[in-house]
A = this chain, B = another copy of it.
Amino acid sequence: MAPFFFGKIPAIRRCGGGIQRRYHWLMTESTHAWLVLAHAHVRVPELNKLLERFDDVAAIVQQKPGELKASGLPEEKCAAIASPPAEPIAAAEEWLQQDGHEVIAFGADAYPEMLRQIPGAPLLLYVNGDVDALHLPSLAIIGSRNPTQGGLRNALEFSRHLAQQGFVIVSGLAQGIDAAAHRGALDATGKTVAFLGHGIDRVYPAVNRDLAHAIAANGALVSEYPLGSPPERWHFPERNRLISGLCLGTLVIEAARRSGSLITARLAAEQGREVFALPGSIHNPLARGCHTLIRQGAKLVETASDILAELSPLASHMKQTAEMAEPEDIAPPLGDDDYSELRRVLSHDPVTINELESQSGLTIDQLSSMLLILELHGEVESLSGGRYALSG
């Protein structure tokens, strides 16, 4: 899809520098306009049509229904734009006043490039947490809501390991594999993102309330549904396209032969993303879905290294593209004292991140980011067994 101009794109203020980027939504006239369009369920292709006739979103929401209808917009959407539901929109604007609450409009810089590419990209994303997490190399880890103990352990361990390697772990906040995937990333002090099948002001299932708070504090909760939307059954398969779409790849841990996880995996393949599946015993019914995927061409995965081998080049490319786009913004502070300290303890003999932690006084979290940066700069090599060494 060719890039297009939205007129006034929501104003974005950048604070901080270095490798951290922060986008803040300024409550403007256009914020209100985007909320009106979102509540009218206007889709991206419909918006494109409207922007052929009107300057920007603020202009669109000032039109009469007849004017809007000339762009081919369905009648009920024209009516909804002309007479927007005041109360829910006011509630959303109030919600936006709180720390960490943001909405990101399609076409804004803060809109994740990976999602912009997919068919059916949402018009607006409601985010609670760190918008940056949506711009980092990500892996979806998904599976059954009723997994085996072994499946849970695998989800936790793969998530931990890959989060440590700098991947954002994305899932759907369901019980079972999803919850274990989020928890693994949190255990590793990595980042994790949950896409919800309901309004972002609700938590479902209720048992995951604490987990949801932890995700918002160490990543992001994201929804395309307006505040207050209930967890309708059809939202979940619809939401799955965002889980697969945001990520370079999707790993299915355990899944029955007919299950939502297989839908997500199929979407991932259609979106041109990698699909990974864990094999299991032929006597475990929850291995069947994974085996089906492997037969269909998913990559059979035994260890996290199998995933890294496929995704690291893509992740580097993603980083490099981001660097090319905004070189001054994400140039790493390679002269920092922390980097000098890390370089001091690194050598050509491979060491684990835990060894680096004890030798450097830096945290695992700091080391993970810094090693990834140094790797992208070609200074450090990531070796098997989670070990690192100076390159060359």
Contact = CB atoms under 8 A, between A and B. Distances in A.
A20 interface: no
A280 interface: yes
Given A154-B282, A279-B294, A280-B280, A288 B302 contact: yes
Contacts of A287: 279
Interface residues of A, number: 18
A151 B69 CA distance: 67
Contact of A294 (B154, B282, B300, B303): B300
A258 interface: no
B282 A302 contact: yes
Nearest to A279: B279
A281 interface: yes
A295 B291 contact: no
A222 interface: no
Copies of this chain per assembly: 2
Most central of A154, A280, A303 by chain B CB within 10 Å: A280
Contacts of A282: 154, 278-280, 301-303
Interface string A239-283: 000000000000000000000000000000000000000111111
A278 B280 CA distance: 9
A18 interface: no
A361 interface: no
Contacts of A288: 302
Contacts of A313: none
A162 to B, nearest CB: 15
A239 to B, nearest CB: 28
Interface in A272-328: 278-283, 287-288, 291, 294-295, 299-303
A278 B295 CA distance: 12
A291 B303 CA distance: 12
Contacts of A299: 295
A294 B300 CA distance: 8
A378 interface: no
A282 B305 CA distance: 13
A32 to B, nearest CB: 51
Nearest to A153: B283
Nearest to A288: B302
B302 A150 contact: no
Nearest to A154: B282
A300 B303 CA distance: 19
Most central of A154, A279, A299 by chain B CB within 10 Å: A279
21 contacts: A150-B281, A150-B283, A154-B282, A278-B282, A279-B279, A279-B281, A279-B282, A279-B291, A279-B294, A279-B300, A280-B280, A282-B301, A282-B302, A282-B303, A288-B302, A291-B300, A291-B302, A294-B294, A294-B300, A295-B299, A295-B300
Given A278-B282, A282-B301, 5 more contacts: A154-B282, A279-B281, A281-B281, A282-B302, A295-B299
Q: 7 tightest A-B contacts by CB?
A: A279-B279, A282-B302, A295-B300, A291-B300, A294-B300, A281-B281, A280-B281
